[in-house]
Amino acid sequence: MYNIILQLHHYIAFIAVILLAYATVNGILGTTSNKAFEDSHRKINTFALIATHTQLLLGIILLVVSPLAQTAFGDMAVSMKDAVLRKAVIEHPTTNIIAAVLVTIGNAKSKRAVGNGRKFKLTMIFFGLGLLLILSRLPYDKLF
Ligand code: HEM
Ligand code: HEM
């Protein structure tokens, strides 16, 4: 169970980061030009949201089933002083929950917004911030 969830969380991480980057670049290009916000742009936002939500769900399961998290939660006073444990079970999860919230708000706001420029701008800001937060706390050593 733990291994399957960890593997899924590992590989979907690439998909989520690539889709979030794609959505953010669409947002930047759209904001700086007079392009129309097409259905394809909305779909990329939705796919990026789905990948992020899937990571959120898998991540929450990992917090329960991961031996690393169980060790860390066993003695929080010690774990908070350990940079590796603190990053894996505190900083990475909290930062990415905030990122998932931003992406969810951005997707909803951009869908409801009126006007191409506004849809692109909201996509750029919310997906971009979410991506930056995720990239700031990714365990790159485990990823590659
Ligand atoms: C801990 C797990 C999850 C939480 C807390 C969560 C939360 C949410 C929330 C609050 C929304 C509402 C957005 C809105 O009002 O526009 C939403 C939408 C959505 N979520 Fe999740 N979600 C989770 C897991 C998932 C998973 C596992 C998937 C897919 C595999 C998923 C796919 C979607 C989709 C497709 C939407 C609608 C997007 C749209 O309307 O464009 N979510 N989710
Ligand atoms: C889009 C958001 C996210 C990305 C891209 C991501 C990516 C990753 C990656 C690449 C790893 C290392 C996997 C490995 O060791 O092979 C990892 C580990 C982990 N993630 Fe995430 N994650 C995200 C969101 C979350 C969230 C929201 C939570 C919790 C609520 C979470 C909880 C964890 C935990 C607990 C581990 C450590 C598991 C272990 O080593 O036993 N992640 N994450």
Q: Which atom of ligand 1 is nearest to the CA of 111?
A: 41
Domain membership of residue 144 (yes or no) is no
CA of 120 to the centre of ligand 1 (A): 21
Domain count across the chain: 1
Task: Please name the residue that has the structure tokens 């506004």.
Answer: 118
pTM recorded for the entire structure: 0.95
- What would the pLDDT profile of 8-39 be if each residue is shown by its tens digit? 999 999 999 999 999 999 999 999 998 999 99
Report whether residue 45 contacts ligand 1, using a CB cutoff of 6 Å.
no
Q: Which domain holds residue 85?
A: 2-139
Identify the residue whose C-alpha is closest to ligand 1 atom 15. 108
- Under 8 Å between Cβ of 87 and 80: no
What's the start-to-end Cα distance of the chain, in Å? 22
CA of 102 to the centre of ligand 1 (A): 12
